[in-house]
Amino acid sequence: MARVHNFNAGPAAIPEPVLEKAKSELMEMAGTGMSIMEMSHRSKPFEDIIARAEAGIRRLLGVPADYAVLFLQGGASLQFAMLPMNLRRPGRSADYIDTGSWASKAIGEAKILGDVNVAWSGKKDSYSRVPNFDELSLKPDAEFVHLCSNETINGIQWPAFPKTETPLFADMSSDILSRTIDVRQFGLIYAGAQKNIGPSGMAVIIMQKELAERAPAEVPVILRYSTHIKDNSLYNTPNTWGVYMTLLTCEWLESLGGVAAIQKINEQKAAALYQTIDSSDFWRSPVRKEHRSGMNVVWRLPSEALEDAFVSKANKEGLVGLKGHRSVGGIRASIYNVITLQSVNALVAFMKEFEKKNG
């Protein structure tokens, strides 16, 4: 059976060369006589794999030496709790910017554990934009400022990031490795792996090492960043398969020319879709143009019945994963790094034909 055009939001498409390489090494990897999934995480072959995966992330994003790169289980959702547990000291507050579903979840977890200042919320605008920098009500004594760089569900993305007095932390789960960033602008970046990095079940954390010393004594040892920095993400058994797939994904992305090269392709893909959406009143984007996501393109049709028909017919044409998130409805095409311009063009052609028959 031919592979489909996979627009799923996550777990998402994985590069075919990565899948082929993993397939070839599934039973036996590099002369070890065993699969990566059977290998001790304390063995020299696996230590080499995790070191190369870390080096790949560092090269692709230009991560400085005073930052740690960690591979932790629990995905980005665990980081919603782990981050404030470690990095907001007792009696202190933290600034959070509410731009959508995932930022809201992070705020909810942080409120359980201590004081939160919601510096701005887009809820009144139905999460259709990110704030202008002068709209942010930041506290000068806050421990950190937290934002979500790209809202997967609502289809909005920060085109640039605010410069803050206190450390800036970002959930980059759905746009990491898709565009160039200055890592030094952030104290901490975290990202679930299942969109642009690899399979689900793991998060990549990039953080200033000195921040890890903030953790209060009552934080459990396994939930301290300092524990995992000290043991190079090997304090307990990591997601060995996830680390291995991250390595292969980094190698694939470097073979294409790195983040700057994939950014140009991503911009072409997003432009093709948004031009189609803006071409007639049959399609409607709920997001302000300047804040539209380059990774998760969302739109509506004149009725829910037409949206259901669109998704159903698209599935039959091998265009899958286009149903919007259950909390907002509509249509969503997730066009992460792996999605080719050819797949986007196939979707555009289908959209034009669907409008011709139903407009």
**Could you say which of 95, 175, 195, 252 is catalytic?**
195
User: DSSP labels for 206-253?
Assistant: EEEGGGGGG--TTS-GGG-HHHHHHTTT-SS---HHHHHHHHHHHHHH
Q: DSSP secondary-structure letter at 82?
A: H
Q: In Å, how far are 96, 114, 184, 241, 254 from 199, measured between CA atoms?
A: 28, 32, 27, 8, 18
**Could you say which of 95, 98, 171, 175 is catalytic?**
171
Distance in Å from the first CA to the final CA of the chain: 32
- Strand arrangement, sheet containing 93-98: 67-73, 202-208, 188-192, 168-171, 145-148, 93-98, 115-121
H or E stretch at 101: helix 101-113
Question: Among this protein's residues, is 299 annotated catalytic?
Answer: no
**Residue whose C-alpha is closest to residue 146's, from 166, 160, 122:** 166
CA–CA separation, 318 vs 39, rounded Å? Answer: 37
CA–CA separation, 142 vs 170, rounded Å? Answer: 15
Q: Residue 132 CB: number of other CB atoms within 10 A?
A: 9
Question: Among this protein's residues, is 171 annotated catalytic?
Answer: yes
**Could you say which of 102, 120, 252, 299 is catalytic?**
102
3-state secondary structure of 90: coil
Place of tokens 């304090």: 235
Residue 235: both structure tokens together: 């304090």
At a CB cut-off of 8 Å and minimum separation 6, what does 195 contact? 9, 10, 12, 152, 173, 174, 176, 295, 334, 336
Residue 84: both structure tokens together: 């404030």
Residues carrying an active site annotation: 102, 171, 195
